[in-house]
Structure 1
Amino acid sequence: MVTEKKTSKISKSRGLGKGIAALIPEDDGNEDKVVVKEVVKEVVKEVPVPTETKLKISQIEPNKNQPRKAFDEDALIELSESIKQYGVLQPLLVQKMDKNYQIIAGERRFRAARLAGVKEVPVIIKDYSSQEVMEIALIENIQREDLNPIEEALAYRQLIKDYRLKQDEVAEKVAKSRTAITNSLRLLKLDDRVQEMVIEGKLSSGHARAIIGIEDKEKQYMVALKIFDEKLSVRDVEKLVKNIDKLDKTVEKKKPENDFVYRDFEEKLKKIMGTQVVIKNKNNNKGKIEIQYYSQAELERIYDLLKKVNE
């Protein structure tokens, strides 16, 4: 705030009337009155615009909390070849850490530049809170569609857990509906092996959501393998899940009295074989054992395992 003082001479008014004159005391002398006027000048604070600079690639390190964990090696090699020819066209967004600079956005470019043997890369240095870093990295990856469904769900969970955000607050930050955030988070209820299949692109998020209702983790995995092997549609999976529920109810009614003994053997064989094993027993203590395999390689593994037992 800047003020200036200006002075001006005001002659004594003689024709204002008695009413106003009674309110203004008259000076006995002929001295001029001094009136102070305050002139306000607006001071505009200049905010420095982030400028692009260059850093040695050895001074830059990835963000350990980066939502994206999986990087397509073929795509990185392709980008690195482009960087060899034209350089890194878009600067990385980084912030100063203790000794180095941490990537906020642009880890894919960083990895490709390192593959290309580049010594320096263009960067913009800014300062953010840990929450802002997480949000920026998440938003950038979502906009580029670089995250697989599980990585995206894990990032949402981290924002909720670490920064005590509600689902609707996360939805607002990433410009998605709350329903989308809820459906994404539900994927984390899946068996770890099924989640890995989603990460590898063997299952879509639609397929994964269709089998979330299956509480038994082993059955989840069995259905996931069936989806992949038979290339089932989401609608086919929904029908399959309904039939599994009906089948379970039928089996529950027909269970023999000593069924728990066979279920115990079943669990032990699963651990030995490393795959799904089903014992179908009858009331006369006879039955059959079904050993599931999902590829030729797995069949060979089971064969080698059984062969060692007989040696």
Structure 2
Amino acid sequence: MEKKLDRKGLGRGLSALMADVNLKPGGEADPPQPSVGLDTFLPIEVIQPNPDQPRRDFDQSALEELAESIRSKGIIQPLVVRKLSDSTKYEIVAGERRWRAAQLANLHQVPVVVRVFTDEEVMEIAIIENIQRQDLSAIEEAMAFRQLMERFGHTQEKLAEALAKSRSHIANTVRLLTLPEPVQNMIRGGKLSAGHARALIGASDPLALATKVVNKGLSVRETEKMARAVSTKTAPRPRKGREFEKDADTKAIEADLSVNLGMAVSIDHSGSADEGGTLRIQYRTLDQLDMLCQVLSVIPRDFKA
């Protein structure tokens, strides 16, 4: 049996993942091999997609183009799959687009490399592959990051290091999930960029602002300016002689809390360390409220700051 992978950080990257793939010149594959790590062919019907695949949207026209290429040249790069326990089925680790396009091209079997991976490794590799190919929308990327943090306990620092992203990118991307579902759908559909969406986080009515951005075709800078103007109008007036401009530390705390809770968090500090302030958490559903109540209920009753 293959030894368990010696993993440092997240996954091993696509280059290491594909290192065992060895097609002969001209695209001719070796004869079918049942051994783990060797390339072979499998019938399409015994292969199934990964239910935790980060990418949810597949462009049909792009799939048709890939299918036409497959009809002409075949599948050059094998799919990476793992055998499901107690089953004759195989689950896709990398290559779902090729699998879908192969069906459109009416292929009966596809080249694969069978590997042994844990659920965590499958998730990590799927994210790495899609991010490296820039195939994920900002929302799909955010959901994948959150899933890794929630299911496997990864920290933002670990994700950032493994994916060659900054910690702020991880935090700001996950914060997009605090936006209302209709706004998230605009991002998925390409109507709003991630830059537009980040400017709307924390707004009192992000959906109304997002609609204006789309209808008027505003740039990211114009969106940021509009969001600041709306925030200024709706914000409470500061007491005379006090500035309520948030410092970098306060904004970082807001971002961390928003990511960990999956809800919009705002901190309004009065200015002095002894005067306190207000922390607001905005929930969108009763399920989120219930989850928040459970989190707060674990605080000891005799806790005193």
Q: Normalization by structure 2: what TM-score?
A: 0.64
Q: What residue number does 2:49 align with?
A: 62
Give the Cα separation in 1 of the matches to 2:172 and 2:208: 22
2:219 alignment partner, one of 209, 233, 240: 233
Kept in 1, the 8 Å contact 2:82–2:116? The answer is yes
Give the Cα separation in 1 of the matches to 2:118 and 2:98: 23
Runs of 4+ in 1 over 4 A off after TM superposition: none
Give the Cα separation in 2 of the matches to 1:245 and 1:175: 34
After superposition, residues 1-311 of structure 1 pair within 5 angstroms as 50-97=37-84, 98-214=87-203, 216=204, 219-248=205-234
Q: Which runs of 5+ in 1 are unaligned?
A: 1-46, 252-311
Give the Cα separation in 1 of the matches to 2:43 and 2:77: 16
Tell which structure's C-alpha radius of gyration is larger: 1
Deviation at 1:245, TM superposition (A): 2.1
CA RMSD of superposed structures (Å): 1.7
Deviation at 1:173, TM superposition (A): 2.0
Deviation at 1:49, TM superposition (A): 8.1
Kept in 2, the 8 Å contact 1:135–1:173? The answer is no
Deviation at 1:159, TM superposition (A): 0.3
| Residues 187-240 of structure 1: CA deviation (Å, up to 9, x unaligned) | 1111111001000000000000001020x3xx2111111111111011111111
Q: Using a 3 Å threshold, how does the CA distance of structure 1 residues 93 and 228 change in structure 2: closer, same or farther?
A: same
| Residues 84-108 of structure 1: CA deviation (Å, up to 9, x unaligned) | 1111111000000122000000000
Q: How many residues align?
A: 202
Query: Quick one: higher RCO (CA 8 Å, sep 6+), 1 or 2?
Result: 2
Q: Using a 3 Å threshold, how does the CA distance of structure 1 residues 182 and 249 change in structure 2: closer, same or farther?
A: closer
Q: Which runs of 5+ in 2 are unaligned?
A: 1-19, 21-34, 238-305
Q: What residue number does 1:257 align with?
A: none
Deviation at 1:249, TM superposition (A): 5.0
Kept in 2, the 8 Å contact 1:210–1:237? The answer is yes
Kept in 1, the 8 Å contact 2:78–2:112? The answer is yes
